[in-house]
């Protein structure tokens, strides 16, 4: 069969040199215009305040609430308790809240890693007690060097978490069942090593005791931390924007980065002023902030962090992409155990002892609630370690506010449970809204 060249060229416009050049010149411009047209984030930012308002409404419709609900909730909580008792927002009370939240906050950081997989770890409370008991037995009872005892107590949590992760990842036992068994086993292990006495007091001048009792009294320390945090945030955001621009993907304009930096600076310097009006900058707060920066970097800037988010989105897709699913799962539970141990040492430091009640009570629920209230999804794949800070700040603020009012613990449990339920409902509604919007 012979094809007529005239028919094959039917519909084509004859092109001379000028026409060809014009078409080639217009093509890149048309392509660029098409790319710009399909990127709403660039368009709204070019429209100034009106554009940001449009973007805000779009996010609300899509269920992309971010940390806004918890920030608003925290502000409401502080306003209510301040109106009930003028001592709530005093420098002393706020400083005490910041130190008290670190132990639970450290445990919540580890919980964030597990929740990103869509799993749960019920053993963190018991592991925190084991870490405190291990340190006390090694250092106080047997006279081991403090630093060595500290390292070994943290590694106890790491090994225990990895062991539970092995049963979950390799054997296939559900994480709920494995960690529930761990909750019972490690609690019994703690009681065993503490012995009949049940309580071992820590050296008040020792390293662990100073984790929550030491304050940098020089005013330059608090202001220096505020400057460092602000500068680090700006530098990180600025370099990220440059990297995205170089890759040809949407990035925040410099004006937005500056605005965000200014808002962070206001919060950071306000906290510095509060600390300096009391005893100074708490060592516990410095350590907690450093941990949050490091873990956030690991989750958002490293291949390992991206693998965790990928598993939270789809295990099968991650496996087909070549991710070693079992090793990531084991490592995440090891991370959870490690931070449970670190949190346990801060809690032991706060009470200056290791006792049989360590890791019991509402510690487990508060750690999980802190991660969820802060914005980490129970369904996996969404969250940041900074969520632990916001969540634990809400919980401890409620506890201290109710304590100032002389309200008993049962009511505190009920209110904290109500806040957790409200947060989970918001998370479920958000997920449903995102599915409707086609984003999940």
- Quick one: residue 385, left, alpha or beta (phi over 0 = left, psi -120 to 50 = alpha)? alpha
Residue 419 in contact with residue 398, Cβ under 8 Å?
yes
Kindly give, in sequence order, each residue whose CB lies less than 8 Å from that of residue 333, ignoring residues fewer than 6 positions away.
Answer: 114, 121, 161, 162, 164, 165, 168, 175
Higher-scoring residue by pLDDT: 139, 245: 139
- pLDDT exceeds cutoff 60 at 101: yes
Structure tokens at 160: 């225990």
The pLDDT assigned to 33 comes to 44
What per-residue confidence (pLDDT) applies to 9? 46
Which of 49-58, 161-170, 427-436 is predicted most confidently?
161-170
Grade residue 6 by pLDDT with cuts at 50, 70 and 90.
very low
Q: What is the pLDDT of residue 413?
A: 79
Confidence of residue 30 (pLDDT cuts 50, 70, 90): very low
Residue 212 has pLDDT above 90, yes or no: yes
Closest CA to 240 of 295, 307, 313, 296: 296
* pLDDT greater than 90 at residue 107: yes
Length of the chain: 440
Q: What mean pLDDT is predicted for residues 108-131?
A: 94
pLDDT-derived band at 2, boundaries 50, 70, 90: very low
Q: Which pair of tokens denotes residue 341?
A: 């141990």
pLDDT in tens, 274-329: 999 999 999 999 999 999 999 999 998 899 999 999 998 888 898 998 999 999 99
How far is Cα 290 from Cα 301, in angstroms, rounded to an integer? 16
- Report for 17-31, 139-153, 380-394: range of highest mean pLDDT: 139-153
φ, ψ for residue 279 (rounded to 5)? -100, -10
- 389 pLDDT more than 70: yes
Predicted confidence (pLDDT) at residue 69 exceeds the cutoff of 60: yes
Share of the chain above pLDDT 70, in %: 82
Q: What's the token pair of residue 190? A: 């703690």
Could you tell me which of 293, 312, 330 has the C-alpha nearest to residue 382?
Answer: 312
User: 200 forms bridges with which residues in the sheet?
Assistant: 354
Is the predicted pLDDT of residue 11 greater than 70, yes or no?
A: no
pLDDT by residue (tens digit) across 144-178?
999 999 999 999 999 999 999 999 999 999 999 99
- pLDDT, the chain, mean: 83
């Amino acid at each position: 069969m012979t094809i007529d060249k005239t028919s094959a060229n039917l519909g084509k416009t004859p092109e001379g040199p000028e026409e060809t050049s014009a078409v080639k010149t217009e093509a890149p411009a048309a392509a660029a215009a098409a790319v710009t047209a399909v990127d709403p984030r660039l368009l709204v930012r070019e429209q100034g305040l009106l554009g940001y308002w449009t973007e805000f409404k779009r996010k609300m419709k899509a269920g992309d609430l971010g940390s806004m609900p918890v920030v608003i909730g925290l502000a409401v909580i502080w306003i209510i308790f301040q109106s009930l008792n003028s001592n709530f927002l005093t420098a002393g009370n706020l400083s005490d809240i910041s130190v008290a939240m670190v132990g639970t906050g450290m445990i919540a950081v580890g919980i964030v890693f597990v929740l990103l997989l869509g799993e749960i770890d019920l053993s963190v409370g018991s592991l925190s007690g084991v870490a405190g008991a291990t340190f006390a037995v090694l250092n106080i009872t047997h006279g081991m060097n403090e630093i060595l005892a500290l390292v070994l107590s943290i590694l106890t949590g790491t090994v225990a978490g990895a062991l539970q992760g092995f049963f979950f990842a390799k054997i296939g036992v559900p994480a709920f069942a494995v960690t529930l068994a761990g909750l019972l086993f490690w609690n019994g292990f703690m009681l065993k090593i503490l012995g009949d006495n049940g309580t071992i007091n820590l050296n008040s001048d020792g390293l662990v005791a100073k984790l929550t009792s030491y304050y940098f009294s020089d005013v330059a320390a608090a202001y220096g931390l505020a400057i460092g945090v602000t500068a680090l945030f700006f530098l990180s955001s600025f370099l990220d924007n440059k990297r995205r621009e170089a890759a040809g993907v949407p990035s925040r304009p410099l004006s937005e980065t500056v605005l965000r930096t200014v808002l962070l600076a206001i919060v950071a310097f306000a906290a510095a002023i509060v600390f300096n009006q009391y005893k100074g900058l708490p060592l516990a707060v410095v350590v907690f902030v450093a941990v949050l920066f490091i873990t956030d970097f690991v989750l958002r800037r490293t291949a390992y962090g991206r693998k965790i988010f990928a598993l939270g989105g789809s295990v099968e897709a991650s496996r087909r992409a070549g991710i070693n699913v079992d090793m990531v799962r084991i490592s995440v539970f090891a991370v959870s155990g490690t931070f449970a141990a670190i949190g346990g040492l801060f809690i032991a430091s706060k009470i200056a002892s290791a006792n049989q009640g360590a890791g019991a009570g509402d510690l487990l629920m508060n750690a999980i609630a802190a991660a969820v209230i802060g914005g980490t999804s129970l369904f996996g794949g969404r969250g940041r370690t900074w969520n632990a800070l916001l969540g634990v700040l809400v919980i401890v603020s409620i506890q201290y506010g109710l304590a100032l009012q002389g309200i008993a613990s049962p009511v505190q449990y009920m209110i904290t449970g109500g806040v957790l339920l409200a947060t989970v409902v918001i998370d479920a509604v958000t997920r449903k809204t995102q599915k409707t919007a086609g984003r999940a």
